[in-house]
Amino acid sequence: MSSRNAHKLRELDALLPGHELVPLPADVELPPETGTTFEENARVKARAAAEATGEPAIADDSGIAAAALGGQPGVRSARFAGDEATDEENLAKLLRDVPRDGDRSVAYVCALAFAEPDVEAERVFEGRCTGTLATAPRGTGGFGYDPAFVPDEDPGDRTMAELDPDEKDAISHRGRAARALAEWLETARAAVR
């Protein structure tokens, strides 16, 4: 698994039952994220992890796009408030930058790439989840932008950080991408049986 983000790992572990996910070893360096799309970044990370470890690898590249900011922060979500910014600083900047009475629609996007050392092409699965940006953070679950992300599919007015992990997984960008990947892995596994 080409990630050291404990939150992503925890979610993917629950979303990919039957697959043992091992965090990327500390001595493996990933190339800088210079891609302009989630898909491109996920492919590069998965390929680098598969080549470095000699094992199949999954990489997650994800983020949030705000309509009022023309889709920003997008692939720069982790570094929105600066290269070393914390989740709290990134969220605070998003809440400052999106006008209070403007378009508050947002979307989470997740690209999951799967790479194998001896197979040239990576497979990429993308999931999206649309919502509205709350005016102030609420809730303690999830991570990142979750305290201000009110998903369209929740019947209440809860933020992602106020949902149980299972509820988030059922509608999240990562949940959708992971279910598509799990289905493809099952088909691929059945084909070699």
Nearer to ligand IMP, 50 or 172 (CB): 172
2 binds ligand IMP (CB under 6 A): no
Nearer to ligand IMP, 123 or 174 (CB): 174
Looking at residues 82 to 111 of the shown chain, list those that interact with ligand IMP (rule: CB under 6 A). 87, 90, 108
43 binds ligand IMP (CB under 6 A): no
143 binds ligand IMP (CB under 6 A): yes
Nearer to ligand IMP, 113 or 142 (CB): 142
What is the bridge-based pairing of β-strands 149-151 and 105-116? unpaired
144 binds ligand IMP (CB under 6 A): yes
* Per-position DSSP letters for 42-69, written without gaps between them: HHHHHHHHHHHHSS-EEEEEEEEEEGGG
78 binds ligand IMP (CB under 6 A): yes
Q: Contact at 8 Å (CB) between 151 and 166?
A: no
63 binds ligand IMP (CB under 6 A): yes
Residue 36, C-beta contacts closer than 8 angstroms, at least 6 positions apart: 75
Q: Contact at 8 Å (CB) between 112 and 99?
A: no
From 27, 60, 61, 157, active-site residue: 61
72 binds ligand IMP (CB under 6 A): no
How far is Cα 105 from Cα 68, in angstroms, rounded to an integer?
A: 8
Task: Please choose, from the candidates 23, 20, 17, the residue with its C-alpha nearest in 3D space to the C-alpha of residue 2.
Answer: 23
Nearer to ligand IMP, 117 or 141 (CB): 141
Number of residues that bind ligand IMP (CB under 6 A): 17
131 binds ligand IMP (CB under 6 A): no
Query: b/e per residue, 76-110, with b = 16+ CB within 10 A?
Result: ebbebbeeeeebeebbbebbeebeeeeebebbbbb
| Token pair recorded at residue 177 | 């991408």
**At closest approach, how far in Å is the CB of 118 from ligand IMP?**
26
Is 61 part of the annotated catalytic residue set?
A: yes
Name the residues that contact ligand IMP, by CB under 6 A: 5, 33, 61-63, 77-78, 87, 90, 108, 142-146, 172, 174
